[in-house]
Structure 1
Amino acid sequence: MMETPVPSEMGTIPSGSPTYIKLLVTYRELLVTHVRNTRCLLDNLLENDYLSEEDAEIVCACPTQPDKVRKLLDLVQSKGDEVCEFLLHVLQRLQDAYVDLQPWLSEIGFAPSQLIQSRTVLNTDPVSRYTQKLRHHLGCDSKFILCYGQKEELLLDDVYMDTVVELVGFANESLGLLGSLDGLLDHSTGILNEQAETVFVSGNAGVGKSMLLQRLQGLWASGQLDAGIKFFFHFRCRLFSCFQASDTLCLQDLLFKHYCYPEQDPEEVFAFLLRFPHTALFTFDGLDELSSDFDLSSAPDTTSPLEPAHPLVLLASLLSGKLLKGATKLLTARTGLEIPRQFLRKKVFLRGFSPSHLQTYARRMFPDRALQTRLLDQLEANPNLCSLCAVPLFCWIIFRCFQHFYSAFQGALQLPDCTLTLTDIFLLATEVHLNRTQPTSLVQRNTRSQVEAFHAGRGTLHSLGRLAHGGMERSLFVFSPEQVQASALQEGDLQLGFLKAVLELGPGGEQLSYEFFHITLQAFFTAFFLVVDDRVGTQHLLRFFQEWAPPGKTAAATCFPSFPPFRCLGGRRLAREDPFKNKDHFHFTNLFLCGLLSKARQKLLQHLVPAAALKRKRRALWAHLFTSLKSYLKNLPRMKVEGYNQVQAMPTFIWMLRCIYETQSEEVGQLAARGICANYLKLTYCNACSADCSALAFVLHHVHQRLGLDLDNNNLNDYGVRELQSCFRWLTIIRLSVNQVTDSGVKVLYEELTKYKILTYLGLYNNQITDVGAKYIAQILNECKTLTHLKLGLNKITSEGGRCLAMAVKNSSSIMEIGMWGNTIGDEGAKAFAEALRNHPSLTNLSLAFNGISTEGGKSLARALQRNTSLRIFWLTKNELNDEVAENFAEMLRVNQTLTHLWLIQNQITAKGATQLAEALPRNTGIVEICLNGNLLKPEEAKMFEAEKRLICF
């Protein structure tokens, strides 16, 4: 017999034989303390015939868990060394069940023999079984998606495609694109607050937020997501609207009774979750759809997972990290809704499909290459449709409509000549699905018109509208079977694809409910109801326009002073509006209302609503649009900017323009243009997309006066630039910075702006412009003799593009300011700009900061300035300029008396170069400051220049 070693908390396997019996004896109390699950061990010992049923019954009969472990160890030891080794093998293999013993097993270096490794190990651990159940549940839930208008569900893999996902900061500034969905859970990139735990995913309606979560679920269910995640809990935020103010739940009931219940030992599963919260991922979809009159501010926060609290308090405590701190929480909401900064660990925007995404999606939907080409050509010819395709939902609807008409009309895949609005697309989709009820045969095609289809389906459409409208008034998006029945919808109507059945979790457990495929569809049918229902008067028609009214007034009071305030829209919402406020569903209703009441829809609707009522509603809407826009703009902040009367508009203005565009009425566009009593529109940070540019152009081309237009920091891309073409004739200032504009968009600018030659300011900072685009911009500078300001920083312009631009600058007698920060023109580009600077008559401000300029380029610029009398401000920050360059600038200062500001921040200048610059200053009376911050000067060296106030070293 071997000698028993002295035990420690951790140890090594004793030498000699028998080994494992002695090991279990030596560490008996360690095992008794940490083995909390004897059932799993018994299952494996029984499976491999190491214990009998009678043995298992003896163990289970023990009164306490420690007694069960001791009895089990006694039995195993009595069976011999092989059984003891197998017990250790099970402890090692089932890490979730015996997590506390893993360090000990590693410390003793346990390695099972080949014989033991060949034995079957069953994982009946409650935590592992619950993880398997969650994977199965989420796998089934994420495999299929019920697509718009489909009787059957489609495979998510056939429909889903990644979109542009952008990391952003607290102020929504871009932090770069996310390469894959795994990046959402990556703890190394895009972190805004290390202490926060919520990843916030924001995006416009239809951009694919819910589908992204469904994709994540599928990846986790199939084991392709972070292996450390053992629990995945998915909740729709609207669930929390189902509870009454008096309802309370503990966290365990919320997770198990209202999501997925463990088949065995729920207490053990919950205890594991509390102990290892970092193994859990929570997703909360659609915070904007949460509607409740529960006053969250009056309820105390909860930090105990065991104490009952209102479900909304649990939600807020989970998001803030007060509950299950360490777990990852992923929250989605529509653009415009914000959550407190202290909640935000990471923030991302879903930007939808890029042009390359659109092409990939077209290849997936239309495998035939000829059809792909025809489809993309027609989209390219119709910028409005192409812009809509940036939103995945709309793209899918449009492509499905193309597929329908291609099959229905034997390959005649043609678009109507007129502009297709969003209303047209939804009308088109509605017609497609109404026609699905028509009998078909091999020899006869459906040939009924859109008017005939809507006339035949008017009962169904009216019932859908009644249901949608009733929900919209109460911000209700999920309907009970009783509510559906009350709307007079028939069983056949439910199969058309407008509504889908869902199992909704509520206080009473799972119950069958219904919802519109998407909130925009509910908005469409709400607007349809307001137009076609005889009982809806002009006052009621405009009830969803409340937000457009000036402060203190309702929308109805603006046009109809006798109409009472809309209590249905105010409602009793959460006392803290942020983060639970959103009104996009009202805005979409207004948008579709404008489209349905447009003149182009008169033929369609005249069979559904009396002509007199239609005319009356249209007139009231037109008057309201004009009055609202004029009143809204009148109340916006204004300021005088270099001779312009500038107005700072807000996102509401974008919605107004969308509605006006949806009417497709030139008369309405003209009236709206009269209401714009300013000649400089600032629309920065308005969440405008490319489709909004066609709405903006629809109004602005009626202005007939020169305008400044600032659209910086939106999401316009090249499509948006194309859609602005009709108003370029009036624009003297165009600012499109931070808008994903590429060379293709710049080409459009060149072709249009050189026709009118009135441009004075062109801002294209932080886009995706290369040397190709730089050549187009150089042509603009050559031909537009009034251009004074050009901003091209943070693009992708190299020395080639730099030379072209410099040549154009040299030939321009009007240019006053050039911004080239953050490109890579290098020394070659710098030399070209030096040539342009020499004897230039008008250039006053120039930035070549962060452009990779080193010694030769810097010396050329310094020498050129000896013959320049126009430049006042010169930025050369963050380049590679050294003392040799500083010496040349010192020589320049002895000659040039007109330069006032020279920034040489973050270069490679030492005390020697600073000394040369300081020695030149007494000979210069014009220079105000030379900035040397961030160069190679030590603090004690910088003190040498304290007396020279114009030389700033720190």
Structure 2
Amino acid sequence: MSEERGNDSPSEMRLSLKQSSVSGGMPNFSENKKSSTKSVVSGSLVSSSVSVTSDQSRREPLNFSDKKSPSAGSVVSGSLVSSSVSVTSDQSRREPLNFSDKKSPSAGSVRSGSLVSSSVSVTSDQSRREPLNFSDKKTPSAGSVRPGSIVSSSMSVKSDQSRDPPLDFSDKKTQSAGRTLDSDFQTHSNHKNFKDNLLGIFQELENKIINFLKNELERFRKILQKDGTQEKDFVKDFNENKCSIKEAALELTLCFLREMKQHEAADTLEDDLIFIHQLKCSLKNKYQCVFEGIAKQGDSTLLKNIYTDLYITQGCSEQVNIEHEVRQIEVTSRRHESQEIPVECTKLFEAPEKDKQIRTVLTKGVAGIGKSISVQKFIMDWAEGKENQDISFMFPLPFREMNLKETEKLSLMDLITQFFPETKGLNLTRRNRFKVLFILDGLDECRLPLNFGGNVTRADILSPSSLDVLLTNLVNGNLLPSALIWITTRPAAASKIPPDYIDRLTEIRGFSDTQKVEYFKKRFTDENQAKEIIDHVKKSKSLFIMCHIPVFCWISATVFQNILEEKRKNLKNNEAGDSSKTLQESNAEDTPKTLTQMYTHFLCFQIQQSRKKYDGEYTPDVSWDKDAILSLGKLAFHQLEKNNLIFYDTDLEACGINASKASVYSSMCTQIFKEERGIIVGTMYCFVHLSIQEFIAALYAHLFLDKNKTSVFAQDSTEQANKNEAMVDLLKTAVDKALESDNGHLDLFLRFFLALSLQSNRQLLRGLLTQQDCNEQDYKEIVQYIKLKLEDNPSPERSINLLYCLNEMNDQTLVEEIQNHLSKGSLSSGDLSPSQWSALAFVLLTSEEELEEFELQKFKKSDECLIRLSSVIRTSKRALLNDCNLTEKSCPALATLLGSDNSLKELNINNNNLQDSGVKKICSGLKMLKCELEILRLSNCSFTEEGYKALALALRSNPSHLIELDLAGNDPRQSGVNQLTNVLKNGYCKLKILRLNDCNLTDKCCSVLSKLLGSETNLKELNMNNNNLQDSGVTYLCTGLKNKKCKLEILRLCKCDLTEKSCSDLASVLNSDSSSLKDLDLSNNDLHDSGVKLLSEGLREKCKLQKLSHQF
């Protein structure tokens, strides 16, 4: 390097450095000194034009400090130096501008007053741009300028990878580096003129900087004010048009806000502009598309194009799961939507009561019903700024992915940053106003113990713990108690979360009939094709019911679309006259009408598609890979036995599937692989839907028999397997295994397994199943075996499933027998066998007509009939079971249906000998939140105060639905009345009508009832006919009736041993302003004319009474 000095004379330096890249550094607000290679003496005037082509060069920060900064060279104060320098050093870099008022040491110096114009070309390998420095202390620089010096710098950057060239505020185009050197030298050759121009230059520069910062600060202010649309636009603009000068303005703002102790404003601005925006962008990219069913590689659909609103309801069943999810679908599909309380997905955390806060929501739904899709839509609405913008951060954490972190020790913040790297540096505890939502999707897939009772307490989000400890403390509120939690699960796993930690229970019902049609119309743009598919699905009751599940809609659409396309291809090659043939007009064997036929078609189609994809050709005949299907079937069968839907590499390897080649099976087993931003969350596998897993498992059982000549159920048995087992024996074993299940998890497997033995279904699987079809003798034998099992009185749910099995096997004999009985009206007088009772229930359940009212007397007055038809009763709105000789024996069945999914609004059990024990059992169902019964009639059921106590406890647990309670003819005694009235005083109890006639009540009971009438009770009608209340009892009642809180409109006191004295008390009530009475029945009491006269005096203008009965 060469260096020239001149005293008050211009001098020029030229440097040439050869390098290839320039990298920009971050702004530096440090006040520490930095070393440099050149220093200009304070007071010198330096005009510099620099050309930089370095790969790693960076710009040093602006230094506003008042102290010296060391440098390699210095310029004497006051000197004017015009320098054009060529530097070939490997480590040259451009030093920061120094606005300090003190001297900075340098390797070379220029005297004060010198004018230096420098044009430098830099191509160093390691040169770099230092960050802006606004500190008050020394900062090193390549050149140091003494106080009073003026530095004008023009920099030309020509490297391949350089970034952030200086802002150009000129109105003219920038010239080349060479021309700029000449121009600058000529422009500033006249020292006096140059100095005269500087004042104007810097005034203009000051105005531009001030205007720019004012504009940015105004934007920042509006962002902090949450100024609606403008706020979103500013945040978007900042991130989409991000540049170093905007980032520097933000850093300046944050720095000064924190120096002013305005930490909340600084944190909020940083969160909105950086963390929240980046998280929303990440979630949008991840969740905007949906892979419906089995997506081909790279094939996805925008969520908004296919999303159909799902029906989400308040509350869910607390019963033990005793039925297969498909049966739950079959039951709920008959429910009356008007009976349920719908909840909008976007308003899950809005409490119905203002004083109640909802922190944790648990949403359940059967497999494939749309839980994850609902989560996806919820996230997208937030990320796109449409809904729930009061939530600051949303963190979806699927259990299937968290399972892979099971053995790791990590803090909550570690867990968040591993799943969302863009949140690194975020501090969730620094502000109390944060609103954070954690979405824990797929609780049923969780392989953690979730030991809420035994795990240690953790309250520090930075403290490492096991994943199980983290999640339990997050849910129970020890970690981030202000955070919102949304958990989704299948019904069987809902009990993993203690109910005390759940503020709202919801359930996804899937598609209504209208939504099923809407789905197919969205799925198919061809209206005629959509209509044809909808019409066919509606013709098959079992298929239309299953379309309640969105995934089954996709399966059906896939199959029918393929069938239509194949038929049209064939018809195109045949006679033109047949080209209009539709699904309904096609051959019966070609079009699926049962579940087994649907899934068989689906399997064949997927295998054909797989061959077309991998072999490049399509053939109508399926070419089976038996080994692959056996391996896949083994996985399906053994995981079904364990009730697992999600599998990992170890599960695949246990079934002989090489995890690295699992994509071969992806035509039926969806591989879910997560690899985002360089972090591999892990690999998980699952079947598209549980029903597909059950179908493949059933197919495997047949293949296993083909290959090994023995039963698949004998694999883990200690008994020696029969090496020549006949198919019919295997079918019987499957029936027995399914009936042994407590929760019915093998019910659908059994339907598929039995149906796959039929020749009509095996025809589609030709080439795969080689064993002989079930012959006519075997067919009759297995049908008879199922009917014998029905005679053994299995549970109603297992019985219904056996009828569905017979339906899949095309045996309608039992159903036809019952239909014959129904047509003749002979059911009520004749005795039915257990299998016929089951068939009757099946016929009623699969009827096209919606069951408004069920009347037990039309069938048979017995406990057995009620128990057998309980599954039918739960689908009706009104159940009339009065006068049917029922006893305590039938009450457990009633309790089960009340506590499960049901449509009941009215239950009449009048005049049955239930006794206290029976009423207690009924109340165990009545107290369940799922029970939405509005009218309960229990008159003359032979129960006492124990029964009343049970009813009081049930109303305390579930007070929101029952509005009418008839207890006539049952003696509560004093204690029973006390128990009941204590509950009814609570304003949350909705009971409006209470009948206590013929209950042996006395005047002492009236004292308690008077307090009830003067409370916050919602009671509007009270019937106390035929009780020995006497005048003293009425006196007590009138005290309550005069209370301003009393809302009673109807009071019945017929035949209560009253005299004219009671009339005086009642007249004072009628004449009071607070009275709400509209109907008063005093008939069959000895009132005399004098009593009636007293009453008439109370009937004045203020009186609201509309009806008075007083005949004797």
Conservation of the 8 A alpha-carbon contact between 2:792 and 2:834: no
1:465 to 2:627 alignment: no
| CA displacement at 1:233 relative to structure 2 | 1.0
1:180 to 2:180 alignment: no
- Give the Cα–Cα distance (whole angstroms) in 1 for the partners of residues 754 and 611 of structure 2: 30
| CA displacement at 1:251 relative to structure 2 | 0.8
Conservation of the 8 A alpha-carbon contact between 1:530 and 1:536: no
The 1:187–1:913 alpha-carbon spacing in structure 2 relative to 1, beyond 3 Å, is closer
Q: Which amino acid aligns with 1:178?
A: P
- Structure 2 partner of 1:299: 455
| CA displacement at 1:385 relative to structure 2 | 1.6
Query: Residue by residue, what CA displacement relative to the aligned partner does 1:631-659 show, whole Å, maximum 9, x if unpaired?
Result: 673xx6xxxxxxxxxxxx4x566555555
- Structure 2 partner of 1:71: none
Query: Residue by residue, what CA displacement relative to the aligned partner does 1:726-753 show, whole Å, maximum 9, x if unpaired?
Result: x9997898886775989xxxxxxxxxxx
- Structure 2 partner of 1:844: none
* Matched residue SS, 1:283: strand
- Give the Cα–Cα distance (whole angstroms) in 2 for the partners of residues 536 and 60 of structure 1: 85
Residue 425 of structure 1: which of 588, 598, 601 is its match?
598
- Structure 2 partner of 1:611: 771
Conservation of the 8 A alpha-carbon contact between 1:531 and 1:617: no
- Structure 2 partner of 1:521: 692
1:261 to 2:421 alignment: yes
- Give the Cα–Cα distance (whole angstroms) in 1 for the partners of residues 316 and 460 of structure 2: 31
Structure 2: give runs of 5+ residues left out of the alignment: 1-25, 32-58, 65-95, 100-130, 139-205, 232-244, 255-268, 320-336, 569-579, 718-728, 820-826, 879-901, 907-931, 936-961, 965-990, 995-1024, 1026-1045, 1058-1069, 1088-1098, 1105-1112
- Structure 2 partner of 1:160: 307
The 1:710–1:612 alpha-carbon spacing in structure 2 relative to 1, beyond 3 Å, is closer
Q: Which amino acid aligns with 1:387?
A: I
* Matched residue SS, 2:429: helix
- Give the Cα–Cα distance (whole angstroms) in 1 for the partners of residues 1055 and 450 of structure 2: 71
Conservation of the 8 A alpha-carbon contact between 1:504 and 1:513: no
1:340 to 2:498 alignment: yes
Conservation of the 8 A alpha-carbon contact between 1:883 and 1:908: no
- Structure 1 partner of 2:102: none
Residue 317 of structure 1: which of 469, 473, 478 is its match?
473
- Structure 1 partner of 2:394: 232
- Structure 1 partner of 2:557: 399
| CA displacement at 1:765 relative to structure 2 | 5.3
- Give the Cα–Cα distance (whole angstroms) in 2 for the partners of residues 219 and 252 of structure 1: 25
The 1:620–1:136 alpha-carbon spacing in structure 2 relative to 1, beyond 3 Å, is farther
- Structure 1 partner of 2:91: none
- Give the Cα–Cα distance (whole angstroms) in 1 for the partners of residues 550 and 449 of structure 2: 33
Calculate the TM-score normalised by the size of structure 1. Answer: 0.54
Conservation of the 8 A alpha-carbon contact between 1:170 and 1:341: no
1:57-456 to structure 2, matched below 5 A, reads 58=133, 89=218, 92-93=221-222, 95=224, 125=270, 128-151=273-296, 152-168=299-315, 176-178=340-342, 180-188=344-352, 194=356, 197-244=359-406, 247-257=408-418, 259-262=419-422, 266=425, 268-272=426-430, 275-277=432-434, 279-292=435-448, 297-336=453-492, 337-338=494-495, 339-410=497-568, 412-415=581-584, 417=588, 420-437=593-610, 446-448=619-621, 453=622, 456=624
1:487 to 2:657 alignment: yes
Q: Which amino acid aligns with 1:352?
A: G
- Give the Cα–Cα distance (whole angstroms) in 1 for the partners of residues 679 and 581 of structure 2: 52
- Structure 2 partner of 1:697: none
Q: Which amino acid aligns with 1:92?
A: R
Conservation of the 8 A alpha-carbon contact between 1:704 and 1:730: no
1:596 to 2:756 alignment: yes
Determine which structure has more spread, i.e. the larger CA radius of gyration: 2
Q: Which amino acid aligns with 1:394?
A: F
* Matched residue SS, 2:461: coil
Q: Which amino acid aligns with 2:278?
A: K
Conservation of the 8 A alpha-carbon contact between 1:166 and 1:175: no
The 1:507–1:347 alpha-carbon spacing in structure 2 relative to 1, beyond 3 Å, is farther
| CA displacement at 1:307 relative to structure 2 | 2.5
The 1:707–1:435 alpha-carbon spacing in structure 2 relative to 1, beyond 3 Å, is closer
- Give the Cα–Cα distance (whole angstroms) in 1 for the partners of residues 447 and 710 of structure 2: 27
- Give the Cα–Cα distance (whole angstroms) in 1 for the partners of residues 441 and 508 of structure 2: 14
Conservation of the 8 A alpha-carbon contact between 1:164 and 1:177: no
Q: Which amino acid aligns with 1:187?
A: A
Q: Which amino acid aligns with 1:305?
A: I
Conservation of the 8 A alpha-carbon contact between 2:800 and 2:838: no
- Give the Cα–Cα distance (whole angstroms) in 2 for the partners of residues 849 and 344 of structure 1: 32
* Matched residue SS, 1:185: coil
| CA displacement at 1:404 relative to structure 2 | 1.5
1:885-900 to structure 2, matched below 5 A, reads none
1:497-512 to structure 2, matched below 5 A, reads 498-503=669-674, 509-512=680-683
Conservation of the 8 A alpha-carbon contact between 2:803 and 2:838: no
The 1:200–1:283 alpha-carbon spacing in structure 2 relative to 1, beyond 3 Å, is same
Conservation of the 8 A alpha-carbon contact between 2:63 and 2:132: no
| CA displacement at 1:164 relative to structure 2 | 1.7
Conservation of the 8 A alpha-carbon contact between 2:853 and 2:876: no
Query: Residue by residue, what CA displacement relative to the aligned partner does 1:317-359 show, whole Å, maximum 9, x if unpaired?
Result: 2222222212221111113433422122222221111121122
Measured on the aligned residues, the alpha-carbon RMSD in Å equals 6.5
The 1:724–1:392 alpha-carbon spacing in structure 2 relative to 1, beyond 3 Å, is farther
| CA displacement at 1:161 relative to structure 2 | 0.8
Q: Which amino acid aligns with 2:349?
A: L
Q: Which amino acid aligns with 2:409?
A: T
| CA displacement at 1:287 relative to structure 2 | 0.9
1:621-636 to structure 2, matched below 5 A, reads 633=794
- Give the Cα–Cα distance (whole angstroms) in 1 for the partners of residues 1047 and 471 of structure 2: 60
| CA displacement at 1:309 relative to structure 2 | 2.3
Conservation of the 8 A alpha-carbon contact between 1:50 and 1:79: no
- Give the Cα–Cα distance (whole angstroms) in 2 for the partners of residues 657 and 484 of structure 1: 35
* Matched residue SS, 2:409: coil
- Give the Cα–Cα distance (whole angstroms) in 1 for the partners of residues 458 and 1082 of structure 2: 67
1:850-889 to structure 2, matched below 5 A, reads none
1:540 to 2:713 alignment: yes
| CA displacement at 1:283 relative to structure 2 | 1.2
The 1:135–1:912 alpha-carbon spacing in structure 2 relative to 1, beyond 3 Å, is closer
Q: Number of residues paired by the alignment? A: 645
Conservation of the 8 A alpha-carbon contact between 1:233 and 1:281: yes
- Structure 2 partner of 1:691: none
1:447-846 to structure 2, matched below 5 A, reads 447-448=620-621, 453=622, 456-473=624-641, 475-480=643-648, 486-487=656-657, 493-494=664-665, 496=667, 498-503=669-674, 509-533=680-704, 534-535=707-708, 537-538=710-711, 540=713, 587-598=747-758, 600-604=760-764, 607-609=767-769, 611=771, 633=794, 649=796, 658-659=804-805, 661-665=807-811, 703-704=835-836, 721=850, 739=875, 766=905
* Matched residue SS, 2:460: coil
* Matched residue SS, 1:218: helix
Q: Which amino acid aligns with 1:463?
A: S
Q: Which amino acid aligns with 1:147?
A: E
* Matched residue SS, 2:388: coil
- Give the Cα–Cα distance (whole angstroms) in 2 for the partners of residues 668 and 39 of structure 1: 86
- Structure 2 partner of 1:946: none
- Give the Cα–Cα distance (whole angstroms) in 2 for the partners of residues 731 and 378 of structure 1: 37
* Matched residue SS, 1:242: helix
* Matched residue SS, 2:456: coil
- Give the Cα–Cα distance (whole angstroms) in 2 for the partners of residues 347 and 884 of structure 1: 34
Between the aligned residues of both structures, percent identity stands at: 17
Most deviating of 353-362 and 489-498: 489-498
| CA displacement at 1:630 relative to structure 2 | 5.8
Conservation of the 8 A alpha-carbon contact between 2:818 and 2:839: no
Q: Which amino acid aligns with 2:380?
A: G
